Chain A
Amino acid sequence: MAIIEIEGLAKSYRIYQKQEGLLAAVRGLFHRSYRDVQALRGIDLSVESGEFVAFLGPNGAGKTTTLKLLSGVITPTSGTARVMGHLPWRRENAYRRRFALVMGQKNQLWWDLPAQESFRLHQQIYCIEPAEFDRRRDELVDLLGVQTLLRQPVRELSLGERMKMELIAALLHSPEVLFLDEPTIGLDVIAQHNIQSFLRHYQQVRKMTVLLTSHYMKDVAALCRRVVIIAHGRIIYDGSLSGIVDRFSGHKIITLIFPGNTVPHGLGQFGEVLEEQGPKVKLRVDRGGIAQALSAILDRHTIEDVSVEDPPLEEVIAEAFSIAAEDLSDGAPEDDVPSPLAGQG
């Protein structure tokens, strides 16, 4: 049986619309206009125990809303979800002891105290046996290499170090389900890498079920076999990372290098010229026409080197988002124009 089951989950918010200016602010005292924003438009999803699933989507797509719903912080407008058999927004202690939520942009540790004090508190809150607590803490501290930082007030830790402490705090009670909301946001490449390898290792050994939202494709590529793309509150893709390209990109990129420093004319007839620099040309060609285009080019021109590649994943996903936006343009107006992932990673 699936550990997480989501059926027709929808969530809309009423958001106060404030007009610009003082007069409008005064008017707002008496008459407020609200707008319904549909953060989730009914999603269905089923996650098996031990899966590591990534949620991709532009800002405002509904990723975080989904995690908030599953962790019981908010209640859905319609639809339902069950996590380990619990209705999350009932917030039963029995449920709250079995999952953890880590938010990259929120701090859950005591700011002025060393992280180990927060860990101690978690031991009490989550009723962890002392011996068990010591063992788990030492193991996590060891894995993340933060032994020397335990006595340092959290406010004096770097962002990366703090994130590691957040993870330890979240994992002390051995959650069966872990929700990670952009755990590597704002971290440098090394810190990102450290957190990724820790998560990969820990998840594999523990067989935890993890739902991750991230803007960094590297996180996703390193960690998740299954990717769910959410755009405008709907799931538009659910499958493997490599499958995204097949599904959303009708193109491949042909890179040609010509002898000497000159580029022949007339390449535009084979596909869209993306880049033309020195002896190198990049062409975007329809998938179906690759063989034909290649043989025609080889026929007419002398070529030093050639390669055929899938377009970068970021671009494909950005494309997927804009397709979703077009599909939706006949529906309710949205002000969240999809921002391509490429710009954020």
Chain B
Amino acid sequence: MADFHSSMHGSAAALPRRNPLHTWWTILRISIEERLIYRGDFALGTLMRFLPLLTQIFLWAAIYQAVHPRETIAGYSYHEMVAYYLLTQISRAFSSMPNLASQIALQIRNGEIKKYLIQPVDLIGFMFLMRVAHKLVYYVVAFAPFALVFFLCRDFFSGWPDATTMAAYLASLVMAFLIGYFLEATLGLVGFWFLEVSSLLFIYMLFTFFFSGHMFPLDMLEELGGPWATIVRVIPLQYLAYFPAAVFLGKIQGADLAWGLAMQLFWVLFFIGLCRLTYYLGVRRYSGYGG
């Protein structure tokens, strides 16, 4: 049996030294391992996501046939429309957070959240790393099918964008991920007040469906006139799908591009702040009233 006495209260006496990189890497590594356990489900889910792509491409083909193959809709030719649609799939691969909010709400409801309250760890940061791991695994699994789809559909694209556009595109994708994470984490944290957040999530998904540009370019809504243009421009959902795709296609350039990226950064910071505030108030409420 090992000797007990030598390290009595050893950790309390020494000042804890933490290497944040090391901690993050451990959390990341363990999360990746966890993701890989359900590899079958994961691979299947990833592959199945590619089926709707085909139907959507056929749908746009039919629409453009009906209008006129050479016409543009909201400034998008048939080729651009398909390219746009494919690109939003990449945007969504960064910005969508399957199960994040519902999982946080569930942990609040079943009390698992206590774990994060008693350990010297930050819940939001912890979950963030778990989500990064989740995404990394997803990209590895999804890379090949994505590459295949884009290769098969290469004729819809008019070539690679220039370096500046490409850099802006990558930045917008990373910020799409950050907005997606902090926005959905905030929705999950609403669970401190409502316990059940599935209706809230449904509303969020409905709005995202229309106003993120996930299904069609937001320029189409703008053409409708009325309040749509304003709504689309004011709410941040466009940064989850439309904005990165439009940047890649060169639809947004120059000053507009700089302004768009600045606005996206603003929303990143906004949702980080909102998420932190919600967490702070939520924990206070939880520890004040909850069991």
B11 and A124 contacting across the interface, CB-CB below 8 Å: no
Among B8, B30, B111, B120, which residue has its beta carbon within 8 angstroms of that of A110? B30
Smallest Cβ distance from A114 to chain B, in angstroms?
9
Interface string of B6-23 (1 = CB under 8 A from A): 011111101011100011
The answer, yes or no, to whether B2 is at the interface (CB within 8 Å) is yes
Interface string of A173-197 (1 = CB under 8 A from B): 1101000000000000000000000
A120-B30 contact in complex given A13-B291, A73-B117, A106-B111, C-beta closer than 8 Å? yes
B34 and A112 contacting across the interface, CB-CB below 8 Å: yes
Among B51-59, B74-82, B83-91, B282-290, which stretch is in contact with chain A? B282-290
A139-B1 contact in complex given A121-B27, A128-B11, C-beta closer than 8 Å? yes
A127 and B18 contacting across the interface, CB-CB below 8 Å: yes
B117 and A132 contacting across the interface, CB-CB below 8 Å: no
- Bound Cα distance from A132 to B9, whole angstroms: 12
A113 and B34 contacting across the interface, CB-CB below 8 Å: yes
What total of chain B residues lie within 8 Å of the partner, measured CB to CB?
A: 39
Tell me which residues across on chain B come within 8 A of A138, comparing CB atoms. 2
B12 and A74 contacting across the interface, CB-CB below 8 Å: no
Interface string of A96-107 (1 = CB under 8 A from B): 111111010011
Indicate the member of B33, B118, B120 with the most A CB atoms within 10 Å: B118
Residue of A nearest to B110 (CB): A106
The answer, yes or no, to whether B5 is at the interface (CB within 8 Å) is yes
A110 and B34 contacting across the interface, CB-CB below 8 Å: yes
What total of chain A residues lie within 8 Å of the partner, measured CB to CB?
A: 50
A174 and B7 contacting across the interface, CB-CB below 8 Å: yes
Among B1, B34, B118, B289, which residue has its beta carbon within 8 angstroms of that of A73? B118
B26 and A176 contacting across the interface, CB-CB below 8 Å: no
Tell me which residues across on chain B come within 8 A of A73, comparing CB atoms. 114, 117-118, 287
The answer, yes or no, to whether B112 is at the interface (CB within 8 Å) is yes
Tell me which residues across on chain A come within 8 A of B27, comparing CB atoms. 121, 124
Chief secondary structure at chain A's binding surface: mixed
Tell me which residues across on chain B come within 8 A of A113, comparing CB atoms. 30, 33-34, 37
B118 and A124 contacting across the interface, CB-CB below 8 Å: no
B9 and A101 contacting across the interface, CB-CB below 8 Å: no
B290 and A125 contacting across the interface, CB-CB below 8 Å: no
Tell me which residues across on chain B come within 8 A of A207, comparing CB atoms. 8
Smallest Cβ distance from B275 to chain A, in angstroms?
18
The answer, yes or no, to whether B66 is at the interface (CB within 8 Å) is no
Tell me which residues across on chain B come within 8 A of A110, comparing CB atoms. 30, 34
- Bound Cα distance from A40 to B6, whole angstroms: 40
The answer, yes or no, to whether A218 is at the interface (CB within 8 Å) is no
A205 and B4 contacting across the interface, CB-CB below 8 Å: yes
Residue of B nearest to A92 (CB): B120
Interface string of B255-291 (1 = CB under 8 A from A): 0000000000000000000000000000010111111
A136-B30 contact in complex given A71-B118, A73-B287, A74-B287, C-beta closer than 8 Å? no
- Bound Cα distance from A106 to B38, whole angstroms: 23
Known: A110-B30, A132-B7, A174-B7. 9 other contacts (CB 8 A): A14-B289, A71-B118, A107-B112, A113-B30, A126-B16, A127-B17, A139-B1, A174-B9, A202-B4
Q: Which residues of B contact A (CB under 8 A)?
A: 1-2, 4-5, 7-12, 14, 16-18, 22-23, 26-27, 30, 33-34, 37-38, 111-112, 114-115, 117-121, 284, 286-291
Q: Can you report 6 residue pairs joining A to B where beta carbons are below 8 Å apart?
A: A74-B290, A91-B117, A106-B111, A110-B30, A123-B26, A206-B4
Q: Which residues of A contact B (CB under 8 A)?
A: 13-14, 68, 71-75, 89, 91, 93, 96-101, 103, 106-108, 110, 112-113, 117-118, 120-121, 123-129, 132, 135-136, 138-139, 142-143, 153, 173-174, 176, 202, 205-207
